[in-house]
Amino acid sequence: MLIEARLFDAAIGDFPEHLDPLLKRIFQARGIVDSAALDRQLSCLPQPAKMQGIAAAVARLCRALAAQQRVLIVGDFDADGATSSALMVLALGAMGYQYVDFLVPNRFDYGYGLTPEIVDLAQQSAPDLIITVDNGISSVEGVAHANRLGIDVIVTDHHLPGAVLPAAVAIVNPNQPGCDFPSKSLAGVGVAFYLLSALRAKLREENWFQQQNIAEPTMATWLDLVALGTVADVVPLDQVNRALVYQGIQRIRAGHCRPGIKALLTIAGKMPQRIAATDLGFALGPRLNAAGRLDDISLGIQCLLTNDPDQAMRSARELDELNQNRKIIEQDMQREALAIVDKIPLSLNGDVPVALCLFQADWHQGVVGLLASRIKEKYHRPVIAFARGDNGQLKGSSRSIPGLHIRDVLDAVATKNPGLISKFGGHAMAAGLSLDEEKLPAFEQAFCQQVSQSLHVDDLQLKMLTDGELQPQQLSLQTAALLRDSGPWGQLFPEPCFEGIFRLQQQRIVGEKHLKLTLSPESDPAKSIDAIYFNIDPADWPNFQAEWARCVYRLDINEYRGVEKVQLMVQFMQAL
């Protein structure tokens, strides 16, 4: 483990004089040198007109509204897809569409995206228009099938496109060729929000709301959904996404959110007034995702759609139960995966291979992505975990490490080995693929070879970047609140973490595998501060022989019985 401080140049940056020097340092280390880039108001967002395809999509939606055609939303089976689907149904309904429904078929029966099989299923409800959310950019065959059946398709997506685009009425995706929209990091729910904002503006221009005696909806009403889907999908928090997430969190804190989000927060033991982006990502997101992983994401969508608090709570409890089941399945799979890795021959340096491909016949399709993530975190290697699908196919889910664009690696493998991969798609850090089971050994060899060519040896060294040291007086509630309120923090805009040497005053195990600590900073031995280190390795901690330790930590505010105290959330600890 290498611990390094993030680099910044104190001489660079156009910041207000009143900005705390610690924040200035943190922002500069994340590439922000202009106070304008810190704007989190909706006024800083680029206009929807900049997104290619949005005018054509709005025109088709206006025709559907004028004729009150049937509109069907086809979403993805994760939290981004769930929030996108709920957003579309709610906003279109508020704008006067009378026939709007959603369809998210079981992922194990129908596969990913708008497949021809899903189009056949959709046809049973006789839609005039299908709108995909968080999927569709790779659905060439599905869109073609819909066209043959006389069903128009609008694709809204954020995934990277392939060489061929679907022949849809309109494609709204900032990552499609020729799109000049300045943010390429929107989640699927962010793309849907932009399309709906453009539609609302067009209907206002045509006096639709006045003519129909409909209250013009305020798009900010649904920013709670946008914030949840954006954080849960782990997209980079550029300025656009930070503004959307910040505004959504502010609404949740003020109590202006969907009953389903309130219910999920209650189930997770979170107070709406105090939530941060991490709560959306680690408390709410997994509960929504569990429905799509194990059962049917429709349960999550219904939880977000309902206006009945009692129904929302019942749905939230079901989602929580599914999430508990998911944890049990994942833990069993993780033990099995670690046993597999233990049997892999190590290099001369004692390292695991440059990439890991893992497969066991009874692994759950819906959980292999989480498994790949856990193994990646432990070994700092790109990982693909496979489970059996249908018709002799394996379904793989991959997670990458910084420095390796995993979708580009799969693309290179497919190009060099025609027919080896049946299909693939995804992002820089995560991707999915399918291949015939008998081709797994050949794929593993080709994949590891491509990773070796694409990665530098330094990329395989696990590094932990920090924001340097804090002075003892900065280990305070005031500093913790300042950092909390300067977010949202997340992907590619990481929450500040710090390093320092501390005396170990007390250490004890709580909750089976967490270490509760009392620490004193080296430069102020008289000061005591609480800390907690989650999911410790029992082989390393507690260590009663150690008097000092080097810690990497985040500042947190712990509230107990109405009393707030600063607490260190330890990310890594090394005995000295």
Instruction: Look at residue 423 and tell me whether its pLDDT is greater than 80.
Output: yes
**Hey, what are 439's tokens?**
């081709």
Give 500-552 pLDDT, tens digit per residue: 999 999 999 998 789 999 999 999 989 999 999 998 988 899 999 999 999 99
Q: At 128, is the secondary structure helix, strand, or coil?
A: coil
The reported pLDDT for the residue numbered 350 is: 67
521-524-530-536 Cα dihedral, nearest 10 degrees: 20
Report the chain's mean pLDDT, rounded to a whole number.
Answer: 93
User: 10 Å Cβ neighbour count for 204?
Assistant: 13
Mean pLDDT of 435-451: 95
Q: Is 3 part of any domain?
A: no
Residues 6+ apart with CB under 8 A from 325: 290, 294
Q: Are residues 407 and 271 in the same domain?
A: no
CB 264 within 8 A of CB 209: no
* CA–CA dist 204, 192 (Å, integer): 18
Q: CATH number for the domain including 420?
A: 3.10.310.30
Residue ending a domain, among 424, 444, 460, is 460
Residues 6+ apart with CB under 8 A from 473: none
* CA–CA dist 99, 67 (Å, integer): 11
Q: Is 328 part of any domain?
A: no
* CA–CA dist 139, 109 (Å, integer): 16
Q: Are residues 553 and 565 in the same domain?
A: yes
Give 471-488 pLDDT, tens digit per residue: 999 999 999 999 999 999
Q: Are residues 212 and 91 in the same domain?
A: yes
| DSSP secondary structure letter of residue 352 | P
**Hey, what are 464's tokens?**
């932990």
Nearest partner of 133 among 297, 255, 331, judged by Cα: 297
* CA–CA dist 508, 542 (Å, integer): 7
Q: Is 13 part of any domain?
A: no
Q: Is 290 part of any domain?
A: yes
The reported pLDDT for the residue numbered 51 is: 97
* CA–CA dist 248, 225 (Å, integer): 7
* CA–CA dist 236, 232 (Å, integer): 11
* CA–CA dist 104, 109 (Å, integer): 11
The reported pLDDT for the residue numbered 391 is: 82
* CA–CA dist 177, 172 (Å, integer): 11
CA distances from 67 to 59, 62, 129 (A): 13, 9, 12
Q: Is 8 part of any domain?
A: no
Residue ending a domain, among 399, 431, 460, is 460
Residues 6+ apart with CB under 8 A from 208: 65, 95, 96, 214
Q: Which of 19-23, 199-203, 390-394, 551-555 has the lowest mean pLDDT?
A: 390-394
Q: Is 383 part of any domain?
A: yes
Q: Are residues 364 and 301 in the same domain?
A: no
CB 517 within 8 A of CB 532: yes
pTM, to two decimals: 0.92
| DSSP secondary structure letter of residue 370 | H
The reported pLDDT for the residue numbered 349 is: 66
Give 218-271 pLDDT, tens digit per residue: 999 999 999 999 999 999 999 999 999 999 999 999 999 999 999 999 999 999
For residue 426, report the phi and psi dihedrals to the nearest 5 degrees.
Answer: 150, -150
| DSSP secondary structure letter of residue 218 | P
Q: Is 217 part of any domain?
A: yes
Residue ending a domain, among 418, 445, 460, is 460
Q: First and final CA of the chain: distance in angstroms?
A: 14
Helix and strand element counts for the chain (H, E): 19, 17
Q: CATH number for the domain including 472?
A: 2.40.50.460
* CA–CA dist 89, 102 (Å, integer): 7
Q: CATH number for the domain including 54?
A: 3.90.1640.30
Nearest partner of 283 among 301, 268, 272, judged by Cα: 268
Q: Are residues 469 and 565 in the same domain?
A: yes
DSSP code string of 25-76: HHHHHTT--BGGGG--SGGGSPPGGGSTTHHHHHHHHHHHHHTT--EEEE--
CB 522 within 8 A of CB 500: yes
CB 279 within 8 A of CB 331: no
User: 10 Å Cβ neighbour count for 295?
Assistant: 20
* CA–CA dist 375, 36 (Å, integer): 39
Q: Are residues 275 and 361 in the same domain?
A: no
Mean pLDDT of 127-141: 96
* Beta partners for residue 564, in sequence order: 559
**Hey, what are 115's tokens?**
């497949």
Q: Are residues 385 and 278 in the same domain?
A: no
Instruction: Look at residue 105 and tell me whether its pLDDT is greater than 80.
Output: no
**Hey, what are 561's tokens?**
């019985």
CB 248 within 8 A of CB 223: yes
* CA–CA dist 190, 158 (Å, integer): 9
* CA–CA dist 96, 350 (Å, integer): 64
Q: Are residues 504 and 534 in the same domain?
A: yes
* CA–CA dist 475, 288 (Å, integer): 35
Residues 6+ apart with CB under 8 A from 50: 180, 181, 182
Q: Is 414 part of any domain?
A: yes
* CA–CA dist 21, 313 (Å, integer): 44
Give 327-357 pLDDT, tens digit per residue: 999 999 999 999 999 988 876 566 888 999 9
* Total domains, the chain: 3
Q: Are residues 72 and 175 in the same domain?
A: yes
Q: Quote the strand ranges of 240-359, DSSP E.
A: 356-359
Q: Are residues 430 and 505 in the same domain?
A: no
Q: Are residues 192 and 249 in the same domain?
A: yes
E strand or H helix at 521 = strand 514-521
Longest dimension (CA), the chain: 77
200-206-212-216 Cα dihedral, nearest 10 degrees: 30
Give 138-179 pLDDT, tens digit per residue: 999 999 999 999 999 999 999 989 889 999 999 999 999 999
Q: Are residues 420 and 309 in the same domain?
A: no
The domain containing residue 353 runs over which residues? 344-460
